[in-house]
Chains A and B, each alone.
Chain A
Amino acid sequence: MSAILEMLQTAAEMGLIEGLTVLALFLSYSMLGVCDLSTDGCFTLGAVVGAVVALAGHPWLSILAAMLAGISSGFVTAFLQTRMGINSLLAGIIVNTALYSVNIAILGGSSLINLNKADTVFSFFRSVLGENGKSYAVLLVALIAVALATAFLVLFLKTRLGLAVRATGNNADMVKSSSINPIFTTTVGLCVSNAFTALSGCLLAQSQKGANINIGSGLVTVALASLLIGGTFIRRGGLLVKALGVVLGSIIFRLVYSLALSLDMPAYMLKAVSSIIVILAISLPYLKEKFPEFRRKIEHSPLGKKLKHKGDTNDA
């Protein structure tokens, strides 16, 4: 029983922490219409910056530092695609690649950092919660972070600036007609979303008491899978419901993953599974739309006619 509860708790913790990255994609992918492929690198950036600052003895500052690092990374990605004429997917890939070097440089040439002895936000909450409650510290921090991030995001998206960010993904011409520069709104959107991604990485590293350079690899697909799962569960509703829905998607993803692990799926399958989920979630609606056309093609082919003919004679 307790093993199951433990599994559920771990899934919830992971789901919530990575839920911040899913919220970031909710903003960049669903709202702004940009598929931000710098997500993996930015997540790792948040993890290493947060870890280095925490190790230097500033657990609270580490969160702020990680988010600022994320904002800078988002700014560069936005700059490349809005001012330098680089396609938005390519801009993300370029920044992602560059961040690999940047992240190792931040770790002083190493690809690992250990936080076992460092004070972190989590160790703070562990001591606050005491002997009995300390095992819930990660869950509590993750819940607080997701609640704050969701509240901020929902309020932000209803401000004039937030409306303009949402409209940019919808109809950039209309944003210009409203005397707002879509370059500005794209930049703001990517800065905010990358702040969330970096926060997500920072919290994951500190909750696991360490980070390595690959902590974020493949995360963009995992987060996209969670986003799309959330989207299938919550189809209607306001921004708050949708935002909570994508976090729910992240938790569901983690639950299903833990379940699969307990059924002896090897851990390394995580990324393949997330890829398959993304493929299904994006292609199924497309294929469904194409299906009638496909059926007609089959019916019109010689094989289809032959089958139909056979069917007719059978009926007779």
Chain B
Amino acid sequence: MLDLKNISKTFGKGTVNVHQVFGGLSLHIEKGDFVSIIGANGAGKSTLFNVIAGSIIPDEGLVELDGDDITMLPEHVRAKTIGRLFQDPMRGSAPGLSIEENLALAAGRGGWFSHITRADRKAFRDRLAMLDMGLEDRMNQPVGLLSGGQRQALTLMMATFNPPKLLLLDEHTAALDPATADKVMAITDKTVKENGLTCLMITHNMTTALEFGNRTLMMDRGRIIFDTCGEERSKLTVPDLLDKFRENAGKNLDNDRMLLS
């Protein structure tokens, strides 16, 4: 489904700040996989997503999606098949446009000069109602008025309105309060399952990493140091994960930002 082949990326080449993030990273993801990714700060998790989504072109290596080489495809073209959410809930929607207008852009129906139709509105309303946040009655309000949790749920809906081949979630609940984070995570899980999406999710919450999905990757210094799925994974606990990290990375996982429980 998704294949990263020998990806290398060095930032600040030819400066004193030269920093190699990847030196030949390879990764294969199966169709329908829901993969959680954990790792210390600066391990290269977000950079990995940037390479997959096209925000960063790797120095070497290939990115293949469904057998197509997409390494050089511009970001907005890849966005047709790759949906993405960031930690910052403000990043996924346009605050000055109404909920309905944001959805219309995400849905991308019709030609350049098409207007939002009654059928579109009905479809948007039905989908919004599923979020159970009352947004379906506020479709004409600017998105800037929504709370962080509502905006993140809306962004998730926008990213999956036309089910993408691949969904990338970069700590998308980290900026939310715990109750809202749980709710958005539940919506995420439901959306992924209902649409049979292939999904990669970076999380700083170890419990979330084990609770959701069917495979977990641990990253350190641009490498995948632990990769688990199936029965082995189902038996893992958070302390096991920490042990694995210490074993494979030769240091403790930085605990300040990690949620261990």
Contact = CB atoms under 8 A, between A and B. Distances in A.
Interface stretch (B113-121, B222-230, B240-248): B113-121
Given A176-B75, A178-B79, A179-B76, A159 B113 contact: yes
Given A170-B94, A178-B76, 15 more contacts: A159-B114, A160-B108, A160-B110, A160-B112, A163-B104, A167-B96, A171-B93, A171-B95, A173-B91, A176-B79, A177-B83, A177-B159, A178-B106, A180-B108, A181-B76
B108 A178 contact: yes
Size class of A's contact patch? 20 to 34
Contacts of A175: 76, 94, 105
A177 B112 contact: no
A272 to B, nearest CB: 32
Kindly list the 7 A-B residue pairs having the minimum CB-CB distance in the complex, ordered from nearest.
A170-B94, A167-B94, A161-B112, A178-B105, A176-B76, A179-B79, A171-B94
A74 to B, nearest CB: 18
A193 B105 CA distance: 22
B94 A177 contact: no
A164 interface: yes
A166 to B, nearest CB: 6
B121 to A, nearest CB: 13
Interface in B75-94: 75-77, 79-80, 83-84, 90-94
A178 B104 CA distance: 9
A175 B91 CA distance: 11
Given A166-B96, A174-B105, A178-B105, A160 B77 contact: no
Interface string A162-202: 01101101110111111111100000000000000000000
B106 A177 contact: yes
Given A179-B77, A180-B105, A167 B97 contact: yes
A96 to B, nearest CB: 28
Given A176-B75, A179-B79, A181-B76, A160 B94 contact: no
12 contacts: A160-B109, A160-B112, A160-B113, A161-B112, A167-B94, A171-B93, A175-B94, A177-B79, A177-B159, A178-B76, A178-B158, A181-B74
Contacts of B114: 159-160
A158 interface: yes
A160 B104 contact: yes
Size class of B's contact patch? 20 to 34
A261 B109 CA distance: 53
A159 to B, nearest CB: 5
A174 B110 contact: no
Nearest to B96: A170
Contacts of B84: 177
A166 B94 contact: yes
Q: Considering residues A174, A175, A180, which has the most beta carbons from chain B within 10 angstroms of its beta carbon?
A: A174
B101 interface: yes
A40 B110 CA distance: 37
Contacts of A179: 76-77, 79-80, 108
A158 B113 CA distance: 8
A190 B219 CA distance: 44
B111 interface: yes
A180 B113 contact: no
A169 B74 CA distance: 20
A167 B105 contact: yes
B101 to A, nearest CB: 5
